[in-house]
Structure 1
Amino acid sequence: MILAHNNDLIAAADIGGSHITVGFVQNGLPKIIDGYTVRIKLDSKGTQEEILNAWFDAFEQLALKKDRAIGRIAFAMPGPFDYQKGVSLIRGLDKYESLYGENIKSIFARHFKIDETNILFRNDAEAFLHGEVMAAALAADRRILGITLGTGFGSAISQYGDTKDLNLGLAAFKDSIADDFLTTRWFRSAYEKAGRAGLEVQEISYLARRGEPLALKLFDEYTENLTAVLHQFSAELSPDDIIIGGNIAKAQDLFLPRVQKRLELLGIRANFHLALLGEHSAMVGSAYLFKPQTIIK
């Protein structure tokens, strides 16, 4: 089958810790075309072949469904990663270890028979925030902090159309780093230490809403941890707005109102927003790599 080409379409991918989601984005527009995406679950601890085949499959399903050839690709990719060269540097993070040192740009260029210049990569937290900023159309001079709460703790800052990764997840916090206290694995680990293994955040939040003491205690601790991290960096970054996304944000009613109230008492009065685009944010933000950047001042 010969698929139609459209040079204005970008096949954008969000690479998560347990999935890949892809959709077509019209260059320069903050939305997924028709809202249609292909999402494939995968084992990020799998072999290189297993992971790459799952990624290829997602793009190929999208192309067939929308009757469009894959001509340009944008990845929202977790780090560490060489975003210019397209080389994975992920190691020691319990995911995508088998891709370490592999040139994903070259692999995809060969597979889809396109030039490497048509494949771009963006940090996933940076892509998330840029997609949200474009969708929300907030005033250009506002300083916006974006955080994602999921398998990792992502962070980025945006102002005047310029969005940059902050990598605050590696910042020192308590006896380790912030990433160890603000992610899904923290919830799993805390529950396991209490003798209850195998529960994910969605299940723990369900129990918390039903008044289960341990689940409520965990969300109390999470509130304290997130407040402490945001207080430290908001004092340094002075954001006007804070946009929050990621799977843990789906349980925001159990922690975010308290975080905001505590920050206000500490003198941080940023406006909080939940992500408008949901899981589409990072795909949209990555696709903007193909639009010449305009810094507005």
Structure 2
Amino acid sequence: MSIIIGVDIGGSHISSAAIQSNVFTIIDGTYFSGAVNSKASKEVILEKWAEIINHTINVVHNTPGFDADEKIGIAFSMPGPFQYQTGIAMFEGNDKYESLYNVSVPDELLKYLKTQNVSFRFLNDASCFGVGGVLKQEQEPENKKVIAITLGTGFGAAFLDNKLPITQGDNVPDNGCLWDKKYNGDLADNCFSTRWFLNQYEQSTGEKLTDGVKEIADIENEHAVKIFRNFAFNLTEFLAPYIVDFNAGLLVIGGNIAKSHRLFLAPFEENLKNKNIELVVSIVDNTEQTSILGSSYLFNESFWEKIKEELPLF
């Protein structure tokens, strides 16, 4: 399959782009993104998803040399809970896309796409980001073990060995997730996300901010600097045991918080060195496009043969 469309589904957005499969790069002019109301009806959500994907399909169809009879592969970077093998959404009790509960995305989405000649594949969004993060490295790391994290409204993570997501084993946390693990008596999701920064700033200054981490980074007063240094310390303390256990050689960091890395990356790397942990830290500026690239790798048939039987049900 020479044309692949990668799709990134977020809690409030969808992004879509066509990928040149032999080199795994986004084809110019095919990237589209739009806001989605995740609390809308099934029909409204699917129509919006299809609208963005159809923009990409239109460009692909008008590309010189495109064969109209050729099947297009559509690969999704999809948050859970989701049946990744079957494409059935299991969103329930997580305040997003609940109208899609028990809906077959391939069957229902197909009704809104402008072509029926497509094939669907799905993978967890954190895993897609991790795979994409490896693909974006200028040189593939010698140590094939990679940890990828996304720092934003939530705390996503993936453990990969030679691009394959690892979710079970003595050297990885249960389900390959970190958000639900504990740090300082709290969920890691509460400690390494936007709400932690907002809470810390309010506690330090009495001022309540609403625009997120970028707003704190732009202020760059003594309170902001201290908060980012504390964040670097906490992130080191939390991640260090997992890095050592997994023997990771590369840590990929994305998400909106990563865009403010100038305020935490240097102390974070210094803290790792002080623990005698040596690994490459790679900051990814565009998490969505990286996830799109990672999802497209599902149509690398060698990769697909290795991963398809291991796809989690949820």
Same structural fold, with TM-score higher than 0.5 when normalized by the shorter chain: yes
> Does the 8 Å CA contact 1:17/1:151 hold for their aligned counterparts?
no
What is the aligned partner in structure 2 of residue 143 from structure 1? 145
- Measured against aligned partners, the alpha-carbon deviations of 1:198-245 in whole angstroms (never above 9, x if no partner) come to 22122121112xx2x443343233223312221131122121111111
1:223 corresponds to 2:232: yes
Secondary structure, aligned partner of 2:16: strand
Q: How many residues align?
A: 285
What is the aligned partner in structure 1 of residue 172 from structure 2? none
Change (3 A) 1:43 1:27: same
Q: Distance in 2 between matches of 1:225 and 1:263?
A: 11
Change (3 A) 1:44 1:79: same
> Does the 8 Å CA contact 1:109/1:119 hold for their aligned counterparts?
no
Q: Distance in 1 between matches of 2:26 and 2:281?
A: 24
Secondary structure, aligned partner of 2:295: helix
Residue identity matched to 2:283: L
Q: Normalization by structure 1: what TM-score?
A: 0.85
Q: 2:116 aligns with which of 96, 100, 114?
A: 114
Distance apart, 1:191 and its partner CA? 4.5
Unaligned 5+ segments in structure 2 are 63-67, 168-175, 307-314
- Measured against aligned partners, the alpha-carbon deviations of 1:145-168 in whole angstroms (never above 9, x if no partner) come to 111112222212223342346222
> Does the 8 Å CA contact 1:132/1:276 hold for their aligned counterparts?
no
Q: Distance in 1 between matches of 2:51 and 2:296?
A: 20
> Does the 8 Å CA contact 2:250/2:280 hold for their aligned counterparts?
yes
What is the aligned partner in structure 2 of residue 233 from structure 1? 242
Percentage of matched positions with identical amino acids: 32
What is the aligned partner in structure 2 of residue 89 from structure 1? 90
What is the aligned partner in structure 1 of residue 9 from structure 2? 15
What is the aligned partner in structure 1 of residue 283 from structure 2? 274
Summarize the alignment of residues 154-169 of structure 1 with structure 2, pairs less than 5 Å apart. 154-164=156-166, 166-169=176-179
1:248 corresponds to 2:257: yes
What is the aligned partner in structure 2 of residue 184 from structure 1? 194
Q: Distance in 2 between matches of 1:279 and 1:223?
A: 24
What is the aligned partner in structure 2 of residue 4 from structure 1? none
- Measured against aligned partners, the alpha-carbon deviations of 1:222-272 in whole angstroms (never above 9, x if no partner) come to 223312221131122121111111211100011111111112112221121
Q: Normalization by structure 2: what TM-score?
A: 0.81
What is the aligned partner in structure 1 of residue 171 from structure 2? none
Q: Distance in 2 between matches of 1:167 and 1:106?
A: 29
Residue identity matched to 2:144: R
Q: Distance in 2 between matches of 1:278 and 1:177?
A: 23
Distance apart, 1:66 and its partner CA? 4.1
Distance apart, 1:278 and its partner CA? 4.7
Change (3 A) 1:35 1:192: farther
Residue identity matched to 1:59: I
1:174 corresponds to 2:175: no
Coordinate RMSD, CA, aligned: 2.5
Secondary structure, aligned partner of 1:155: strand
Residue identity matched to 1:138: E
What is the aligned partner in structure 1 of residue 218 from structure 2? 206
Distance apart, 1:25 and its partner CA? 0.8
Change (3 A) 1:225 1:103: farther
Secondary structure, aligned partner of 1:168: coil
Residue identity matched to 2:9: I
Distance apart, 1:197 and its partner CA? 3.9
Q: Distance in 2 between matches of 1:53 and 1:107?
A: 10
Q: Distance in 1 between matches of 2:198 and 2:286?
A: 27
Change (3 A) 1:250 1:177: same
> Does the 8 Å CA contact 1:30/1:131 hold for their aligned counterparts?
no
Q: 1:196 aligns with which of 208, 222, 226?
A: 208
What is the aligned partner in structure 2 of residue 54 from structure 1? 48
1:32 corresponds to 2:42: no
Residue identity matched to 1:285: G
Residue identity matched to 1:237: F
Q: Distance in 2 between matches of 1:224 and 1:198?
A: 24
